[in-house]
Amino acid sequence: MTRIKIASWNINSVRARLPIVERFLISEAPDVLCLQETKAQDFVFPAEMFRKLGYVHHKLNGQKMHHGVAIVSKLPLHDEGRHDWQDNGEARHIGARLDCGLRLENVYIPAGGDVPDRDLNPKFGQKLDFIERMTRWSEKLAEPTLIVGDFNVAPLECDVWSHKALVDVVSHTPIEIEALDKLQQAHGWVDLGRRFVPAPERCFTWWSYRSPDFTVNDRGRRLDHMWASPSLAGQAVAHVVHEPVRSWERPSDHVPLVVELDC
């Protein structure tokens, strides 16, 4: 078996954050990096920096100004796949297969707007429908798969700084949590974040830009996830949330996750 290191990061504009992406790749040297919210069409994606560091294999699904996902890798990537779970052409998913047979899926689930009511807020309905389409896909999934990305849902009470304050706030509402639970059960997905950092231990991946110093009140949420197929989960040997990256210059509001697997 070979030890493989896979990272996932909502970068909130890959071109704007390129210096910290380069710093992270140099310091942590993952074999594969999955990015969400790249905000770049494929032809302007900053591929040369990644190639310079050895990430010569790219799978891109970008669009102008919004959304966008990418996989950059030192390892060969095969069988590119794209699912339009948003059902409107938005660039929110890219997948590929590694030589070891692992299927890697990189997803950016919609945030869902501010009002947790699909009748008053169409964006919230789109989010729930997106998760429902993922659920139907998961039911038929047969190959060992790692799905990573910004799920925009913090499912557990301990996944937010205050369950009481956020129970009616989009990303932590009961209806979203129920939808995500159905998705998880559809394939028996194993939440690697909570396998390595068991509840109720603190584990956040996102902090709002509204706070000048996110460490002062620590109002975080666990919106970013790495889930493994049951047959793959036992091959995971480490999972790290790189929280210090949130303090780097011009950071994303999300931090990278890294999993190591014997594949």
For 141, list phi and psi in degrees, rounded to 5: -70, 130
Average pLDDT over the chain reads 97
* CA–CA gap between residue 62 and residue 38 (Å, rounded): 7
- The string of pLDDT tens digits covering residues 131-189 is 999 999 999 999 999 999 999 999 999 999 999 999 999 999 999 999 999 999 999 99
Rounded to the nearest 10 degrees, the angle between the axes of helix 122-139 and helix 174-187 is 20
Task: Name the 3-class secondary structure at 34.
Answer: strand
Helix (H), strand (E) at residue 104: strand 103-108
Which residues in 12-102 belong to E strands, given as ranges?
32-36, 57-61, 69-73, 78-81, 93-97
Percentage, residues of the chain above pLDDT 70: 100
Cβ-contact 196, 239 below 8 angstroms:
yes
Percentage, residues of the chain above pLDDT 90: 97
Please determine, for residue 252, whether its predicted confidence score (pLDDT) is greater than 90.
yes
Nearest residue to 233 (alpha-carbon basis) of 203, 193, 196, 190: 190
Return the DSSP state at 254: B
- The string of pLDDT tens digits covering residues 61-71 is 999 999 999 99
Please determine, for residue 1, whether its predicted confidence score (pLDDT) is greater than 90.
no
DSSP readout, 70-81? EEEESS--EEEE
Please determine, for residue 35, whether its predicted confidence score (pLDDT) is greater than 90.
yes
Read off the pLDDT of each residue in 255-263 and give the average, rounded to a whole number. 97
Read off the pLDDT of each residue in 28-43 and give the average, rounded to a whole number. 98
* CA–CA gap between residue 238 and residue 252 (Å, rounded): 23
* CA–CA gap between residue 41 and residue 122 (Å, rounded): 26
Nearest residue to 87 (alpha-carbon basis) of 45, 122, 129, 136: 129
Please determine, for residue 97, whether its predicted confidence score (pLDDT) is greater than 90.
yes
How does strand 220-221 pair with strand 103-108? unpaired
Residue 39: the pLDDT is 98
Report the CATH superfamily, name and number, of domain 3-262.
Endonuclease/exonuclease/phosphatase (3.60.10.10)
Please report which confidence band the pLDDT of residue 32 belongs to, taking 50, 70 and 90 as the band edges. very high
Q: How far is CA 84 from the centre of its chain?
A: 16
Catalytic residue set? 108, 150
Read off the pLDDT of each residue in 45-59 and give the average, rounded to a whole number. 98
Residue 188: the pLDDT is 98
Residue 209: strand pairing partners: none
Residue 211: the pLDDT is 81
pTM of the model: 0.97
Cβ-contact 105, 147 below 8 angstroms:
yes
Residue 249: the pLDDT is 95
**Would you tell me how many other CB atoms lie within 10 Å of the CB of residue 225?**
27
For 137, list phi and psi in degrees, rounded to 5: -65, -45
- The string of pLDDT tens digits covering residues 226-248 is 999 999 999 999 999 999 999 99
* CA–CA gap between residue 263 and residue 254 (Å, rounded): 27
Residue 192, both tokens:
């690697």
- The string of pLDDT tens digits covering residues 182-216 is 999 999 999 999 999 999 999 999 999 988 789 99
Read off the pLDDT of each residue in 116-123 and give the average, rounded to a whole number. 96
Q: Where are the domains of the chain?
A: 3-262
